[in-house]
Amino acid sequence: MNFWIIQILNGVSFGMLLFLLAAGLSLIFGLMKVLNLAHGSYYLLGGYLGLTVLRFTDSFLLALLGAALGITVLGILMERWFLRRIYGEPLRQALLTFGFLFIFADIALWIWGGNPQTLPKPGPFTGSIRMGAIVFPSYRLLVIAVGLVIGVGLWWLQEKTRLGAMLRAGVDDEEMAKGMGINVSLLFTVVFALGAFLAAVGGIMGGVFVGVYPGADFEVLLLAFVVVIIGGLGSLKGAFVGGLLVGLIDNFGKALVPEFALFTVFVPMAVILAIRPTGLFGRA
């Protein structure tokens, strides 16, 4: 019994992290049809920036806010100065964002060096919670909580606010939305900024237990892709369910059949691609 409780908690906490990583990617693709390959860089730079702020201020909250804001600005600049020029040209977008991925990786190496680092845990969450024979790191519970809060927040934003309505209109029919007087150009920038913001939050929350190091950007990008392929590109609900599903399957796969650990993340993806190519909640 204890084994199952711990594994479920593990799976859910990892799944929430995956959700944070995938939400931004999915959101941006849903509205703008841009597959932002530099998404992994936002994670990496977010983590590093958080580390730096943390060193100067000793406050995890400030690090979270500072890094997330910094990366949001970076996202806005990228959208305004670069991506804006090539909307509707998927090949160029892929090349451009892929190029950014490499440039940011080199800049990070230059500034922060190549040694792997982790962000220290915020004060109240350094220990582990013990219940009988169960020992579970309390920080992971925080990750679950943050994931839930952000999930609910995004749902509220999308379903209950005017911005969300414009967003949904933009996703459904961009031309018509423009015709209705929605400032789609501004909307694009806002969504891009939000996507970058979410990835940076993932970088800090994840930087604590996954770490930040050269190459993390590619690994995170891969995981985010798996999640959005399962959940469906462009769907927030898909990112949430996909993240949880991958987190749980991966965790139980590794715990129960470690011989197949390399595939546990990719098996569900292959199955979904075979029976429902658009993902669980995606639309063709």
CB 247, min distance to another protein, A: 9
List C-alpha distances in Å: 98 to 55, 79, 91, 148, 284.
30, 14, 11, 30, 25
Q: Is 207 helix (H, G, I), strand (E, B) or coil?
A: helix
Q: Which is nearer to another protein, 14 or 240 (CB)?
A: 14
Contact assessment for residue 199 and residue 50, using Cβ atoms and an 8 Å cutoff: no
Q: Smaller CB distance to another protein: residue 2 or 185?
A: 2
C-alpha of 53 from chain center: 21
Burial classification of residue 257, based on how many CB atoms lie within 10 Å of its CB (0-12 exposed, 13-18 middle, 19 or more buried): exposed
Contact assessment for residue 105 and residue 214, using Cβ atoms and an 8 Å cutoff? yes
Nearer to another protein, 10 or 235 (CB): 10
Q: Which of 82, 87, 98, 136 binds another protein (CB under 8 A)?
A: 136
Distance CA 178, CA 182 (A): 5
Beta-ladder partners of 129 = 136
Instruction: Give first-to-last CA distance, the chain, whole Å.
Output: 41
Q: State the minimum distance, in angstroms, from the CB of residue 254 to another protein.
A: 4
Q: Is 153 in the site for another protein (CB under 8 A)?
A: no
Closest CA to 240 of 231, 229, 252: 231
Q: Does 70 bind another protein (CB under 8 A)?
A: no
Q: Does 214 bind another protein (CB under 8 A)?
A: yes
CB of 264 to another protein, least distance (A): 9
Q: Does residue 41 belong to the site contacting another protein (CB under 8 A)?
A: no
Task: Find the shortest distance in angstroms from Cβ 185 to another protein.
Answer: 36
> Applying CB under 8 A, does 43 fall inside the site for another protein?
no
For another protein, the binding residues in 74-133 under the rule CB under 8 A are 105-106, 109, 113-118, 120, 128, 130
Task: Give the burial class of 157: count Cβ atoms within 10 A of its Cβ; 0-12 exposed, 13-18 middle, 19 or more buried.
Answer: middle
Question: Strand, coil or helix: what is 164?
Answer: helix
| Closest CB 76 distance from another protein, rounded Å | 27
Residues between 217 and 276 with contacts to another protein, criterion CB under 8 A: 219, 223, 250-255, 258, 261-262
Compute how many residues bind another protein; rule: CB under 8 A.
Answer: 41
Residues within the interface to another protein (CB under 8 A): 3, 6-7, 10, 13-14, 105-106, 109, 113-118, 120, 128, 130, 135-137, 139-140, 209-211, 213-216, 219, 223, 250-255, 258, 261-262
